[in-house]
Amino acid sequence: MFASYRRIFAAPGSLAFTLAGLLARLAFSMTGVSTVLAIAARRGSYALAGSVTAVGAVTIALGLPLLGRLVDRHGQRRVALPSLLVAAGPLFALPLCVYGSAPTWTLFGCCAASSVLPNLGGMARARWAHLYQDDPAARQLANSFEQVLDELCFMTGPVLATLLCTSLFPEAGLLTAAALACTGGLAFAAQRRTEPPVRPPVPGGDGSALRSGGLRVLALAFLATGVLFGSMEVTTIAYADSLGQRPLAGGLLALMAAGSCFSGLLFGLVRPERPAVVRLLAGVAAMAGLLLLPLAAAWSGAGLPVLAVAILLAGSGTAPTMVTGMTLVQELLPARQLNEGMAFAVSGIMIGISAGSAIGGALAQHAEPGTGYLLPAGAAVAALLITVVGFRRRLAEGLGKGPGKGPGMAPGSGTGQGAQAYSYSGSVEPSAKTQSRSATRVPPSRS
């Protein structure tokens, strides 16, 4: 397994930008918990802490597509550096405002202003796609590896934030996250040789990436998946608390991330022989089926050991879905819209997480213990229905093809040369936009 993944780092500079991006993503996974712990400790209000965190999440979700569009037009370095400079002030000002008892509005202002941080996860995926534009197997390895890094960050980030805030001082987590975000972002922007080239716009402009019907379907499916993530977290904490075992909730959630990590590593080794849309359907269907296990464990009253196994297995269904979804974004859009498209996908996940946390919290407050597991299971089913309805024609075409012969799977397809653009209904339409790139090797390129 490790030998297979080691080959994707044969490209010069790949390890450097991966490590730099890892620092920034670790900072992102620490910020939410650090904000809650710092404000709750200094201001004595979890309601205020939750409100400030929610404002930060919403502004990030709204700002990511705009930043992604700027990256597509001007390049990663030319957007990342100014974004970091603008965000650095609010990032370091927030812990100072918390400590200095500044007016409440300053907390909201700092969180909103710091949302201009660049999406380094999307930029890293764009670099992998540029490096391995003609090697689908290597792209799958790289996308799987990126998903595993995301899961590892969201396993270790909250733990590290909690340790810093409780053992040192309440603002320690925020200060560390700010330092990691700036250091990682600057180091990432300094990696010039792996940066994808800026693609010239077509005459008349491309318009928004959301004009792609396929991307709209994926954004909705990712939103439903975000509801799954957000509600799963709240429901698991509430259920463990109802059994008098709240300290074990973090371990249960870590098991879900561990299941996703392991399945992501294995999934990267599978050679992509079917069209990406067919693989996405299989992944979402598996995710929907596996999410029934925690619901069954909770309703049966089997106890936390059985629930732990169920959550571990349920987590194994998420990584293949996220990896294939991001791969499909890379195939649906031209390279000049890649960062914007992935930003819309991430925004969908973030909005879904916020909604899932809110709805899951309401269920945990007013329903019987364990009933909340209906929400992540239902969200997975919703993602499955969205995928089937949204890509119904393309699924019919892909299922009838032999290995590697379906839409979007031919060499150089998607964001590569000779690409075809697919409408929302799944019909195949040669696109003037993609044909204009036929003389250029264009790279194709999920907290």
Q: What pLDDT score was predicted for residue 427?
A: 33
pLDDT for 403 equals 43
pLDDT tens, residue by residue, 385-432: 998 888 877 776 555 554 444 444 333 334 333 333 333 333 333 333
* Residue 421 main-chain phi, psi, to 5 deg: -100, 140
Q: Which residue has the higher pLDDT, 349 or 434?
A: 349
Q: What percent of the chain has pLDDT over 70?
A: 84
pLDDT in tens, 183-208: 988 888 888 888 888 777 665 556 67
Q: What is the pLDDT of residue 206?
A: 61
Q: Return the higher-pLDDT residue of 317 and 246.
A: 317
Q: What is the C-alpha separation between 86 and 83, in angstroms, rounded?
A: 5
- Confidence band (pLDDT; 50, 70, 90) for 149? confident
Q: Which amino acid is at 16?
A: A
pLDDT band (50, 70, 90) for residue 384: very high
8 Å CB contact between 221 and 389: no
Higher pLDDT, 205 or 122: 122
- Point out the least confidently predicted range of 8-22, 49-63, 233-247, 402-416: 402-416
Q: Name the residue with higher pLDDT: 413 or 89.
A: 89
Whether the predicted pLDDT of 297 surpasses 70: yes
pLDDT at 429: 33
For residue 447, the model assigns a pLDDT of 33
Q: Which residue has the higher pLDDT, 3 or 43?
A: 43
Q: pLDDT (tens digit, 9 = 90+) per residue, 307-355? A: 889 988 988 888 888 888 888 887 887 777 777 888 888 888 888 887 8
**Rounded to 5 degrees, what are φ and ψ at 14?**
-65, -40
Dist CA 334 CA 370 (whole Å): 44
Range in 196-200, 224-228, 377-381 the model is least confident about:
196-200
Greater confidence (41 vs 178) lies with 178
Q: What pTM value is reported for the model? A: 0.73
Mapping DSSP onto H, E and C, the string for the chain reads CHHHHHHHHHCCCHHHHHHHHHHHHHHHHHHHHHHHHHHHHHHCCHHHHHHHHHHHHHHHHHHHHHHHHHHHHHCHHHHHHHHHHHHHHHHHHHHHHHHCCCCHHHHHHHHHHHHHCCCHHHHHHHHHHHHCCCCHHHHHHHHHHHHHHHHHHHHHHHHHHHHHHHHCCCCHHHHHHHHHHHHHHHHHHCCCCCCCCCCCCCCCCCCCHHHCHHHHHHHHHHHHHHHHHHHHHHHHHHHHHHCCCHHHHHHHHHHHHHHHHHHHHHHHCCCCCCCHHHHHHHHHHHHHHHCHHHHHHHHHCCCHHHHHHHHHHHHCCHHHHHHHHHHHHHHHCCHHHHHHHHHHHHHHHHHHHHHHHHHHHHHHHHCCCCHHHHHHHHHHHHHHHHHHHHCHHHHHHHHCCCCCCCCCCCCCCCCCCCCCEECCCCCEECCHHHHCCCCCCCCCCCC
Asked if pLDDT for residue 3 goes beyond 90, the answer is no
CA Rg value for the chain = 21
In this predicted structure, the answer to whether residue 439 has a pLDDT above a threshold of 50 is no
Q: What does the pLDDT read at residue 397?
A: 58
Mean pLDDT of 23-52: 79
Selected residue with higher pLDDT from 253 and 23 = 23
Q: Where does the pLDDT of residue 292 fall: very low under 50, low under 70, confident under 90, or very high at 90 and above?
A: very high
Q: How far apart are the first and last CA of the chain?
A: 24
pLDDT at res. 290: 92
